[in-house]
């Protein structure tokens, strides 16, 4: 199965946001990870026989922590910040406007104006790979099955620097794609793409910030893609490995359960050709 790790470093508060990332990955492959794995996919129940089978559907899998005062942020402000972060996760990973149409308007409208201004030119310009650590966009020509994406993970908050509330998010999103010929003995993972997103969001308030910097930013970004098409990944999009023609990939080092676990360490193995 293919693994692509993503690392993003963001330089903020310097007038210009710099978004830099690198990709690593491993190969797709039929037949599953365990000996004797059943080679069959039910497109009516695409997550069956995968670790995501019993996860929550869509935004129901994104839970917010209890509201409480954190540093200079009141319980009400913390509740509002975590609600906004949940909305950003939905807009960036689950909303058809982003997934299918590659329309970032809703997502960017939830961020601080300065960061939204920096990100907007990356959409629809052939630069999508520079923003793919933050959002999920389906490759043109691929289609999701009617099944809602599965989601598992957690969110926590802590005080940051003066005027900052840090919201740590760590979620795994699993997407089910269509396949042309269900008569083939496909492994379920042939139509599933797994996206791990560990993103630190920062809510900023107060007089120390310029008006355009007030609101929600992102800072530390980490994660990976598993069982993904290298061809799609190279363009900044996601698609299953079902039709991938990219040669020369190496096998992922762990069993698939590890890549579905939001508490597992971020792996570093590389598989997609650079």
Which pLDDT score is estimated for 57?
Answer: 98
Query: What average pLDDT does this structure show over 9-31?
Result: 27
Cα distance from N-terminal residue to C-terminal residue, the chain: 17
User: 212, 217, 205, 183: which is closest to 12 by C-alpha?
Assistant: 217
What is the pairing mode between strands 56-57 and 215-226?
unpaired
Which pLDDT score is estimated for 247?
Answer: 58
User: What is d(CA 112, CA 47) in angstroms, rounded to the nearest whole number?
Assistant: 36
Question: pLDDT-based confidence at 266, cuts 50/70/90?
Answer: confident
User: 196, 205, 201, 197: which is closest to 219 by C-alpha?
Assistant: 201
If you average pLDDT over every residue of the chain, what do you get?
82
Query: What average pLDDT does this structure show over 252-265?
Result: 83
Domain boundaries, the chain: 56-260
Which pLDDT score is estimated for 251?
Answer: 62
Query: What average pLDDT does this structure show over 233-247?
Result: 82
CA–CA distances in Å: residue 32 to residues 39, 40, 192, 243: 7, 10, 12, 17
Which pLDDT score is estimated for 151?
Answer: 98
Q: Which tens digit of pLDDT belongs to each residue from 151-203?
A: 999 999 999 999 999 999 999 999 999 987 656 657 888 899 999 999 999 99
């Amino acid at each position: 199965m293919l693994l692509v790790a993503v690392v993003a470093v963001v330089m903020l508060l310097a007038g210009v946001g710099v978004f830099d990332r690198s990709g690593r990955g491993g190969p797709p492959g039929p037949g599953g990870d365990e000996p004797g794995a059943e080679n069959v996919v039910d497109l009516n129940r695409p997550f069956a026989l995968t670790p995501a089978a019993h996860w929550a559907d869509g935004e129901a899998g994104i839970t917010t922590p209890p509201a409480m005062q954190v540093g200079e942020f009141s319980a009400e402000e913390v509740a509002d910040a975590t609600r906004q972060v949940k909305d950003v996760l939905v807009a960036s990973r689950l909303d058809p406007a982003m997934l299918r149409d590659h329309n970032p308007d809703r997502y960017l409208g939830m961020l601080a104006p300065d960061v939204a201004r920096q990100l907007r030119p990356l959409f629809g310009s052939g630069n999508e790979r520079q923003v793919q650590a933050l959002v999920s966009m389906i490759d043109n020509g691929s289609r999701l099955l009617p099944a809602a994406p599965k989601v598992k993970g957690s969110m926590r908050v802590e005080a940051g620097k003066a005027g900052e509330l840090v919201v740590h998010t760590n979620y795994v999103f699993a997407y089910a794609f269509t396949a042309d010929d269900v008569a083939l003995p496909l492994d379920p993972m042939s139509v599933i793409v797994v996206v791990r997103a560990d993103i630190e969001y920062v809510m900023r308030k107060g007089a120390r910030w310029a008006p355009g910097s007030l609101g929600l930013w992102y800072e530390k970004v980490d994660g990976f893609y598993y069982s993904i098409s290298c061809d799609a990944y190279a363009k900044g999009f996601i698609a299953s490995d079902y039709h991938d023609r990219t040669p020369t990939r190496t096998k992922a080092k762990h069993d698939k359960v590890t890549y579905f676990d939001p508490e597992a360490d971020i792996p570093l193995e590389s598989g997609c050709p650079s």
